[in-house]
Chains A and B, each alone.
Chain A
């Protein structure tokens, strides 16, 4: 004991201290709740308020959407309280009865299989390139970015030489139009946006100037203005007869609009890459495009996945604005259906808009979840 008490100048540890278990639990649901929900007075208040809000909203919503709901109807009469003999909630019969119109718009009944096939081909492409386990990834990208757009276009608009009657785009509508616009916007915006971002950081003055003008002009005006320009102004400047289809004009407008935002997201990623990465690539003799494609962009895009997906989600929801220039997207077909005298009751819009919200939510939330899983996967591969 006296040895321990006197201040020792030299010390050598003869043995290794074994690992021990911690004296109290460091994981488990109760501890999780204590750390995350009840860690401070403010957090306790917020937790209780949140529980209160859930209890306040959810029962009414369940009552309205499920318990009191009417599941089939041929007109709004079937959804009246006098007819069904109980308080009426959501009239889902409206959605089921108008389902064809909401999905296909005015697309001719006999040709709707083409739209179904289009959806299936798109789903196949998306699954092919997004799923981790599918083989032949390069073929998948070639399919989705080269084959699918051509096949999809021919399928939807028709080609008389192979026996598919032409269906003009003003018959297209509903969910079909929402999917077409957002797919074209998403697929076009990433490559164009990357080129604009590279141009803006380029050493070449011309490339930089063109990119800056393009990005700042598009960012400086609202999407609605671009849609109006595309559909109302543009035809005034071009000769009669040389007037591209109105949906096509909108697609080009939406593509450039989202590309400008994509460019700024990508530029943020490019700026985050250390200069040493550029220098190492250059010192090895890589050319500009090799350096960008192999070294810089893979790292830059990984950093900005959240921003990119944010843009995709924003774009998906912004497609509803095309209704302003007379294109019947999903939301617009719901509104049009509500104007139908057969379906005019004060309850009807509630169910209809709930359904719309649910559809948009499923798609946007799906994109967000997928992005998170990609981030996790990439993060494990390249710890710094």
Chain B
């Protein structure tokens, strides 16, 4: 009984202590001599759901990868829930524990079962007892509607199922913020909806999210704001309604005319 109660308490999503979940100011990044992110300013409030879109190579993936330091920025500051990202490894690990990430290519661990994929980080990073980690993992597998796959290996699942497992894997760490890097781009058309549904549920529960995606239906349904990026800069920010109805910038208009047929 005791263990299931503590497991339930661990089920509560992480709570942001600051009003601003993410504060990016004057951030610049270069790949070699290529200026990939230029003077990016972006503040994401607690509970906000931000969708980032833009043409390929516009730096949108790089931007969200900077938030958990998979990429290093060279200028400006990134503050995640009050902690500034610097070279300090301790702080990086702290932030990574609180920020979940879902990748385009799922990046599940192919040599571990689904359950092991989910319990690995809670057991090794949070030092959670295995039994408790298993309970939490099963809870999230039920939430993404594939508890029966727990003992299979990632390679035996469809793309949509794998991506749902990847989302559940992040949730097991009770993240305060979730980053999605084109989560549906590598999926067969038939499987996009099951992943989007999972993300919509998450958004409706109040998770702070940043999604790089071209799913405009998703953006309309859940986004608090839509950000359009081009050539490493934030070109336009607006509410989804205004963004789709009245795009202001020429580049935005051209982009929307190309993706909305």
Q: Report A's interface with B, CB cutoff 8 A.
A: 274, 276-277, 279-287, 290, 294-295, 298-299, 302, 381-384
Contact = CB atoms under 8 A, between A and B. Distances in A.
B109 A277 contact: yes
B111 A302 contact: yes
A274 B109 CA distance: 11
B155 A383 contact: yes
Interface string B65-89: 0001010000000000000000000
A302 B153 CA distance: 16
A280 B167 CA distance: 12
15 contacts: A274-B107, A277-B109, A279-B103, A279-B107, A280-B101, A283-B96, A284-B96, A285-B97, A286-B124, A287-B125, A295-B120, A298-B111, A299-B109, A381-B153, A384-B155
B164 interface: no
A281 to B, nearest CB: 8
A294 B112 CA distance: 9
Nearest to B120: A294
Contact of A382 (B68, B96, B124, B153): B153
Contacts of B68: 282-283
Nearest to A279: B70
Nearest to A380: B153
Given A276-B107, A295-B109, A382-B155, A283 B70 contact: yes
A283 B153 contact: no
B209 interface: no
B175 to A, nearest CB: 10
Nearest to A293: B124
B110 A299 contact: yes
Given A279-B70, A382-B153, A383-B153, A285 B93 contact: yes
A59 to B, nearest CB: 49
A234 to B, nearest CB: 41
Given A286-B120, A299-B109, 4 more contacts: A276-B103, A280-B107, A284-B120, A290-B124
B111 A284 contact: no
B63 to A, nearest CB: 15
Interface residues of B, number: 25
Given A279-B70, A294-B120, A384-B155, A287 B93 contact: yes
Interface in B90-145: 93, 96-97, 99-101, 103, 105, 107-111, 120-121, 124-125
Contacts of B229: none
Contacts of B155: 382-384
Contacts of B125: 284-287, 290
A192 B99 CA distance: 35
Given A290-B125, A294-B124, A383-B156, A282 B111 contact: no
A37 B60 CA distance: 57
Contacts of A280: 101, 103, 107-109
Closest 8 CB pairs of A and B: A280-B107, A284-B121, A276-B107, A383-B155, A285-B97, A283-B101, A285-B96, A285-B125
B225 interface: no
B173 interface: yes
Most buried by B among A283, A298, A381: A283
Contacts of B173: 284-285
A109 to B, nearest CB: 51
Nearest to A302: B111
A39 to B, nearest CB: 32
Most buried by A among B105, B121, B170: B121
A94 to B, nearest CB: 50
B118 to A, nearest CB: 10
Contact of B110 (A286, A290, A382): A382
Contacts of A290: 124-125
B117 to A, nearest CB: 9
Contact of B70 (A274, A282, A285, A383): A282
A286 B122 CA distance: 10
A287 B94 CA distance: 11
Nearest to B125: A285
